[in-house]
Each structure stands twice: as C-alpha cells, then as structure tokens.
Structure 1
Amino acid sequence: MKKLFTTLSNIWKIEDLRVRILNTLLFLLIYRIGSFIVLPGVSPVALQNQEKEGLLGLLNMFAGGSFSRASIFALGVMPYISASIVVQLLGIAIPYFQKMQKEGESGRKKLSQLTRYLTVIITLVQATAYARTQIEPDARFMPDPWFTISSMVILTAGTLFVMWLGEKITDKGIGNGISLIIMAGIIAQLPSGLMSEFQSRIGGNGGIIAFTVELIALFFVVVFTILIVQGVRKIPVQYAKKIVGNKQYGGVRQYIPLKVNAAGVMPIIFAQAIMFIPLSVGQFFPNAQGSFLTALSNYTSWQYNLIFALLIIAFTFFYTAITVNPVQMSDDMKKNGGFIPGVKPGATTGEYIDAVISKITLPGSVFLAIIAILPSLASILGVNTNFAHFYGGTSLLILVGVVLDTLQQIESHLLMRHYDGLMKTGRLKGRTAVSSGAAGPVI
C-alpha cells in the first residue's frame, strides 16, 4: 500500500505526465457531458422507457448510453471504427493502398484523411437510419422530414467532434484517445448494471450469496481475459557478432514475442457484423423470418452462439494471417544477422514461425470464442442483461486492453525519469509493448 501511494505521488511530481492525465480527464468529461445532451426536437421524457436490448444494447453500451438517450453523440466513434476497418482491409486487398502504407509518414497522413472522409459518409448513412428507425414518432416534436435532416447533420457533427476529442487525447493526453472514449462509455454503464443486478438479487432472486458468487466469477473472468491479452510465445533469436573498429556488436540472444491472441478484438467485431445480417433481414423482410432466422437474431440462443463462436475462430485465423507476416519477419531477421537456433535462415525460418503461429492461434481463437459467448451464457443463467455484458465479449476485451495499454504508457513515463514502475516486480506489457510487426486498428 505504501508503494502504491509513493507511485501515485511520483506520477503527480512529473509535470508533463500530470498535465497529460488532467487533459485526458477533461476531454473525457466533455464527452460524458455531451452524451446527455438530447437531439433537438426529441422529448427526453418519452425516451426514458425505451431500453435497447440484444445487439442494439451492445451498441448502446459502446456509446455510453447515448444511443438510447438520443444524444448528439448517439453514434459515438463507431462510424470512425468502421471506416478504420474498411481502410485497413483496403490496404490488404488493393495495391494502391498497400503502396500508401509503405510511404511512411506521408502515406499515413493520406490514409488518415481518407478515413475521416469515409467516416463522414458512414455517419450520414447511419444517422439517417437512426433518426428514422430508433427514435419513436411519439418522442418527436418536429415534422418527420425536418427532424431527419436536422438529426442527420447534428449526429454527423457529434461523431466528428468525438473523433476530434479522441485525437486530442492521443496528442495532448495519455493513451489512445479513441479507445479511451469507448472505454469511458463502457465503464459509465457499469454502476447502473451493477446496481440493477444487486437490486434484482436482493429482491429475492438468489439473495446476497448469489450476488457475491457473480462478483467472484466476474473477477476470475477478468483474470482469464488478462492472461489471454498478455499471453505470448517467445521464440529465441541469436544475432551474429560484428566487430566495428574496437567495438563488438551483436552476439546476444533476444526473443520474438508472438501473441497468443494476435488478432485482438477484431475477430469479435467482424463476427458481430456478420451476425447483424439475420437481424437486418428480419426487419426488412418480416415474411421471410423463419424459426432459424429468428434464433440467429436472439443472442442467447444456442444457434446464435454456435455460429458466433465458429465465426470468431475463423476470423481469428484470417486476421492473424493478414496482419502477421512470417516471411517478412524472417527476411528482416536475416538482414540484421539474426537466426533461430537450430533453424536455417530464410524460407525455413519463415515456415517455422508460421507453424508456431498456427499452433498458438488455435487455443487463442478458442479462448477468444469462449470470452465472446460468456455474456449470453451469463444471461441464460439469470444475470441481468446490462450486467451480463461485462462478463466477456468486446466490452471486456476493450476494457482490459485499454487499461493495460494506458498503464504501460504511464509506467514508461515513470521509468524514463528513473522512478519505480507501477508493479513491484516486472513490467507491464501493453499492446504496444508486445508487437508482432503489424499495426492494427485503433481499438
């Protein structure tokens, strides 16, 4: 406990770090205040009983409750995330975008600008759909055409402002701004979810013992998720000795850290996008909605969870294959005079790394699928829907990843100024500390 207070006081002593943390808190406060400002022409009273469930409830969690409140930030940063994913996939499939990715800083600026333009287009489409389908007519004060147009403009401006806040947090604050905004929205739903679950249990649905068991289970799920996020397989690399003048370079053994879950949260996001299709088909074609299609629209059904888990496993292998390049890693190692003991340099090294990645990706994908379906299993076991989302899925992975990443950056500031880190033994390994050689999306 004494070391904790000492570390906190050291954080406050570093002026640059203190200013960055205060800036981050200020920008997050602005975002949370904006999430309670309702769109013009909407009655807040009429929206109080409109709860979002299922997949829409998950989107509402990412937006910090703004989605159900018809806030000016109702769409949050999800259009920006969608645009980032599209641009990244274009960089994999189209040579023109691949060339821009290899142009260094100028290429990154062009891709960033393209992502912003694509964000505007996606937001305009989503804002129109949101104004027409997600806000009930009895909650509106304005005629339908004017309401749709004004809401489209305001929601687009709100998303762009949130995107600007995220960039300012990354530039002037600590951590990744977009990820922190998503995390703030998720954490904002935790007190209400925890309170509703507590009231439900105390009201006779299991009592305080059941509530305590749920908290213990949640603790172990978080620990399990941290192990998956932080798990790495180290491949030893030996570098040849070089003598330049009177100095010797190389001759040391290092490691290539291959992450057990190199794909991060992206397979769950891709799988959830696919699972939105049955829900959309059911809304547009009610007559074509059979029993199987209805089951796929219900995230607690076994059909939904089975297909969802299989999609996550498949997307984990797919995303790992397109982001981790064993051949490039082998070539870079060979250029720098490195080799894996017992393995020939060149193509054989690439095949060896690829085999190791395949072996660790299988258990990683299975564990990721288990984490993804835990919220639905918790709902089936009687946990309140708002609280069940914290038992796994995208929300928990984002929380764990962002917290570890932010703590790792804070520790880097402390160690640079010769202070003790946050941990008594060892160092935190955030997502930026363990890299497989490929940049991923902002989440």
Structure 2
Amino acid sequence: MAPAERKKVLHKLADLIEKNALELAVLGVRDNGTELNMAIKAESGSAAGTFRYYAEALDKVYGEIAPTDPNFLGMIHKEPVGVVGAIVPWNFPLMIGSWKLAPALAMGNSVILKPAETASLSLLKLAELASEAGLPDGVLNVVTGQGSVVGEAIALSMDVDILVFTGSGGVGRRLLEYSARSNMKRCYLELGGKSPNLIFADAPNLDEAAKVSAMGIFRNSGQVCVSGSRLLIEASIHDDFVAQVAKYAAALKVGDPLDLGNDVGAVNSLTQLQGNLGFIDSAHADGNTIYLGGNRILEDTGGYYMEPTIVTDVKPTDRLAQEEVFGPVLGVLPFSSDDEAIALANNSIYGLAGGVWTSNLSRAHKMIRGIRTGVVHVNTYGGPDNTVPLGGVKQSGNGHDKSLHAMEKYVDLKTTWIKL
C-alpha cells in the first residue's frame, strides 16, 4: 500500500481508538486490574497517540544514495521485513501492543499479535477497530491462547521474520532458542527491570521526590516495567525520606479499579499475588524490616489486592534488591557517596530505567553517565513520550520501542549497486 494510504488507515484507527477510549480502557481494567483513571490515559490515550505518531512518521523514511565512485550508483533501499510476530504482556496490553503494532504497520509489514493469556480483550477490540479503519484482512492477526502453545508456534514458525516481545527474562530466553531452532529470526526483547531511584540530600524538592517516588512504584500495583522498585537514599536523609514516602503510600486508596475514587487497583492474578507475598517471606528471612504494608487486603471481595509495601534494611545481595517483584513492593537501601550510589544502582542484572534526584548539575551528569540503564529520569520519574526510545541494557533486553528508532526494527536494508 502506498505510504499516503497507510497514513490514512493509521490516522483513522487513532480516531476510532479515541472514540472508543472508555470501552477499551474498561476492557483492559477487567482483564488486568489497572485503575481506570490510569488506563484511560496510559492505555487508550497512549495507543491513539502512538498510532498518530507513526502515521505521521511513515512517509518521512527515505532510502539513501551512497557517496561512492561516480562510475557507479549505490542505492540503499528500506524494505518491510515481512511478517512480525509480536508477543505482549498483561500489564498494559493496549499501550505496549501499540508500541509494536504502529511502527510495524507503518513500515508496511503484517503482524501476528499474541496477547497475554489473562489480558486479551482490549487487543481483540483493537483488531476490530483496525478492520473498521480499513486495514486489509490478514495484515493484523490477533491470536489468543497459552504462551506454551500459541507463542511457541509463532516463535518457531518459518514464516515469521522477526519477533518482538515484552515480558519475562525466562520467556525471552526461550524465544531466542526458538529463533535458533527455526529460521534465525531476529528477536527484540524488553525483559523488565529492577530500576534504581536515587535520592540525594540536595534534591530540589524532597517532598515532591517522595510523592513521585511513591507513585513510581505503587501505581498499577507496581506492575510497570520501569517501576522504581529500588529506592536508594543518601544516608543523611534516609529516615526522614522513608517516613515521607510512607506517608504518601499509606494515603493511597486501594480497591476496585473501576471506582474512580481509588488510587491503586488490583494485582493481575492470584499467581502474581502469591509471588508478591513470597517476596515478603524472603524479606523476613533476609532480616529486612517491613516498614509499611506487606499484606493481602480486601480478600472478601474475591479480588487480588495488596497493600503498598515498603521494606527497609535491605542489603545489596538480598532477594528484594536483586529480583524483579512486579508488584507494589519497594526495597530501600542507603548510600553515603556518589560512587557508592552508582555501584548500588548497577548492582543488578537488569538495566531498563532509573532515576536521580539532585540540584547539582555535575552530579546529575555523573549519574547519567555512570548508571547503566536505557532510561534515566532526573528530578522526575516516568512520563517520557513517543519522541524518545524505551529500551534496556544488560538482561533488560535489546532494541527499542517508541521514537523514530523503533521503526528500525521493522525494515531491512537492501543495497543496489549499478555500473553506469
């Protein structure tokens, strides 16, 4: 399809997402427990914006003419890779699904999208809207089912040209194995994190830092890939800052995610809740202190809810400092110097995101250079838009979603060499 026609379809799809924003958000909330206020913005709103961004970007991608011997013409073409296999998680299925779909479709590919077993409703609705927007039949296919069946079939298929995935490291490793066993398809993996959030005594506003830090881990019950789950605090302000974060955390109202009066919704599943509570058991075993929370609540509702939880006296080698919880559990560690802060921040197999709070410009740049993550927030946490990439280093994966750089995954380069 000509780029101008692709543009029209993606803009129409963005229009339909906006028109059906509340329905899409509610479908997602029923699946994954995200609080509705957040889902409307982070799911429907983000998805519409993502499709508009790549609709506008797609006809700005050009081939190249190489500066070579004047007796030859060297041309570099950018072609669609073909069939994209996309596997997305349950925490923000519409947002993350759109990060994969929009640039892949913009570049002229077809997509087979597998939602998580526990969160497929909003993406099935998106497929309906895509058809209504004029996307040709077969270009987008949403296939539901167990990862061990459907995901494996997509990953092993000789007809799928690349895989894009957001999820756990264990599944990411299996996808790499399936690629090797099939057609050596490229795999782009975003595998989560254990993101450090560094608070220095000279932060411009410690009260704001405490409030944002609380929301940086407790929104969506901690089920966010970039959650600031390791809070590293300069020793001189440690006790006061923990108390301030706890004040904001304790004030958060946890409950029915469809109730607009609630601040935090549900944990996705009983399995996830049990995993979260297992980290509390580990904290006790490691000699950590449960400063706030640590319990399942609202069990009489039949839902899976957990208190915002703060754990102090965490040592760098403890489980809570090393493993991703993916729940509303914050581990706190003190530091005494810039070098110790960097060492603690990097003491992880992950490298997705991080945060730094300081008024010292030199220190901020030192932290940005020193912390090995794909994203570093300074005096804020969360919120980067489509203009900047999201991707990790180390065992947080490879490749990038969002920004113009995401489009690079979905094209192949072809060289033409012509003798004149």
State if a TM-score over 0.5 links the two structures.
no
Larger Rg: 1
More helix by percentage: 1
More strand by percentage: 2
TM-score (norm 1): 0.22
